[in-house]
Chain A
């Protein structure tokens, strides 16, 4: 198996981008990554595009070829494949690209992640996101994602004494990080009281416990590590890629306070990289809801099960903490264009490892992890990157 490196990253500022089309979003992010990497169109062997539901959001499927076309590569006839795994679509696209290079089939691969979610009304966006849940067991009965994660949160509160303040502190921390990220949808800090007193969405999750509906795109250029120096002098190595699945419906899980997909994908990744959770310097985790970040840091082994709620208060996961979590602002503050999220996480980890994260730069960042979840935990991808 060959080593794989990230040789270019690009993304656009996430937000409510009504004045930009799907094509514009992805070609802007893609061009930035290509320029950053130094590759030319003729160097590209394949493209993988993560997009959860372009069909429902903008009425357009077949976006693999569309992205190649929009990027100006139609004449090169580059193999272009769309990858879908709900909100983990981006992470899966990274993994597909990684596997294709590691296997020796491809040398240079362009990864894109995109979702344009604001062209439909809020209720339609909620319905579309609910297609990532189990239609027969959850969605048909009115369950939505805030409801599913609220169920997890109330159980976590019951089992481990996690409080609404613990949840709110995750949002406050991520907004504080996002305020330093020029690509974030919400570049402003919030107060704990604001988060606690916000409109209730599904108890105990208020408005500030939920990631927003976002338009956005991100792109990463992957390359066989042995050829990376042909294109860039700042490659970042991907030292592991892990993936796992679980039941689509929450109620069928062994323990609803643990995402076994995360546990298993992490096990796979740590083994491949020959490291443990203690070797990770920082991570981008899938905080689609504040409770999801608490689960993630527990399931990735950064804190013990049940202690995730106190991680912000104990300054473990803050930007200057022992393991900074979501320096980008996370899904909460940076925004969550579902198909783009997994790719944007790799962009952030690579920027940190290249020491290019400016005001949010984590000191001595050497090994970073990206954790991307689909649905309520039925799909998980984990990538571990190392500075070179």
Chain B
């Protein structure tokens, strides 16, 4: 198929997990009620040697294992994250070296809350289209921060996914992509601050729902599609409730979103959230399947994609790397004390 799209993909989810009820117990809260309220049963936790750079490298390597492209043909790497290990010094260069894509390479780290990864896919799509590069690598990954005791602590988790964008041997064609952006401060982290702040319920109606709804509707208008035209729908998933609610509002069924709804099992991987959902869908999608994806980044914006799976999906070595389902199952539970150590809560000067 002609056009621009996804040549390969890979995801990475750390194997450590903490249960919602174990976090709740520390704060004297009712774990069952929180699990039920958030739609999250447990979340992934980065190990002592895992961060956004390692998750990005693992996801990128998984993508390369599934296809046969030469890393030297990758002309650009964009990594979207809220938890780049360095404030100044790119994560993208680490990944570029690790996968052997340097030095003829454009690199920049992106930040747009939870949608910087999809912004990277849009950039790579445009660069491929303009023929400035042959392949681009876009990654969304996070080891999300949450202040101890904050509501975010039940959801903020770790994971990411990588996508190689090109126009040769594409397994999923990106038909259309657009964004809907306003200045809406619903969630933020000031410079030098360890944990983000948020506007409580303001993060819902005027933020998440407004942007995803508008972006998705505008995309369907441009693509001349209706909800029933899609086999799979993926919406940003800060918790288990928002994506179900927005999908209903837009006219999608639970059957359309369940394959891409990963948050109940691993929590909110922020920049990775909608992209791990997309990786999960690509793990099972068949040629001809149509996918709609809308990410959301606080601050605020939503990127929407209309994607169709091609015949070349049958030639992709999907089994050469672990599926999202494999990584969800491959887990080891830790207690809150271990979690506190690993997430730097126990830091002192």
CB distance from A57 to the nearest CB of B (A): 14
**Are A16 and B201 within 8 A (Cβ)?**
yes
Interface size on B, residues (CB 8 A): 10
Given the known inter-chain contacts A199-B30, A199-B33, please indicate yes or no for A18 contacting B200, CB distance below 8 A: no
Q: Which of B33-89 contact A (CB under 8 A)?
A: 33
CB neighbours of A121 from chain B (8 A)? 197-200
CB distance from B298 to the nearest CB of A (A): 15
CB neighbours of B200 from chain A (8 A)? 121-122
Bound Cα distance A121, B187 (Å): 12
Given the known inter-chain contacts A121-B199, A121-B200, A122-B200, please indicate yes or no for A18 contacting B206, CB distance below 8 A: yes
- List the A residue with the shortest CB-CB distance to B197: A121
- List the A residue with the shortest CB-CB distance to B186: A18
Bound Cα distance A207, B146 (Å): 25
Instruction: Please tell me if A19 contacts chain B, counting CB pairs below 8 Å.
Output: yes
- List the A residue with the shortest CB-CB distance to B33: A199
Q: Which of B160-218 contact A (CB under 8 A)?
A: 197-202, 205-206
Bound Cα distance A122, B202 (Å): 11
Bound Cα distance A16, B207 (Å): 13
**Overall SS of chain A's interface:** loop
Q: Which of A182-217 contact B (CB under 8 A)?
A: 199-200
Instruction: Please tell me if A163 contacts chain B, counting CB pairs below 8 Å.
Output: no
Chain A 151-179: CB-based contact to B (< 8 A → 1; otherwise 0):
00000000000000000000000000000
Instruction: Please tell me if A118 contacts chain B, counting CB pairs below 8 Å.
Output: yes
Interface size on A, residues (CB 8 A): 8
Bound Cα distance A118, B198 (Å): 13
**Are B202 and A118 within 8 A (Cβ)?**
yes
Chain B 268-312: CB-based contact to A (< 8 A → 1; otherwise 0):
000000000000000000000000000000000000000000000
CB distance from A84 to the nearest CB of B (A): 26
CB distance from A125 to the nearest CB of B (A): 9
- List the A residue with the shortest CB-CB distance to B204: A16
CB neighbours of B202 from chain A (8 A)? 16, 18, 118
CB neighbours of B198 from chain A (8 A)? 121
CB neighbours of B206 from chain A (8 A)? 18-19
Bound Cα distance A291, B205 (Å): 32
CB distance from B28 to the nearest CB of A (A): 10
CB distance from B287 to the nearest CB of A (A): 45
Chain A 117-128: CB-based contact to B (< 8 A → 1; otherwise 0):
010011000000
Bound Cα distance A125, B202 (Å): 14
Candidate in A18, A122, A199 with the most chain B CB atoms within 10 angstroms: A18
Bound Cα distance A331, B18 (Å): 40
CB neighbours of A19 from chain B (8 A)? 206
CB neighbours of B199 from chain A (8 A)? 121
CB neighbours of A122 from chain B (8 A)? 200
CB distance from A54 to the nearest CB of B (A): 19
Sample of 12 more A-B contacts, CB < 8 Å, known A18-B202, A199-B33: A16-B201, A16-B202, A16-B205, A18-B205, A18-B206, A19-B206, A121-B197, A121-B198, A121-B199, A121-B200, A199-B30, A200-B30
- Please list the residues of chain B having a beta carbon within 8 angstroms of any beta carbon in chain A: 30, 33, 197-202, 205-206
Q: What would be 16 A-B contacts, judged by CB atoms less than 8 Å apart? A: A16-B201, A16-B202, A16-B205, A18-B202, A18-B205, A18-B206, A19-B206, A118-B202, A121-B197, A121-B198, A121-B199, A121-B200, A122-B200, A199-B30, A199-B33, A200-B30
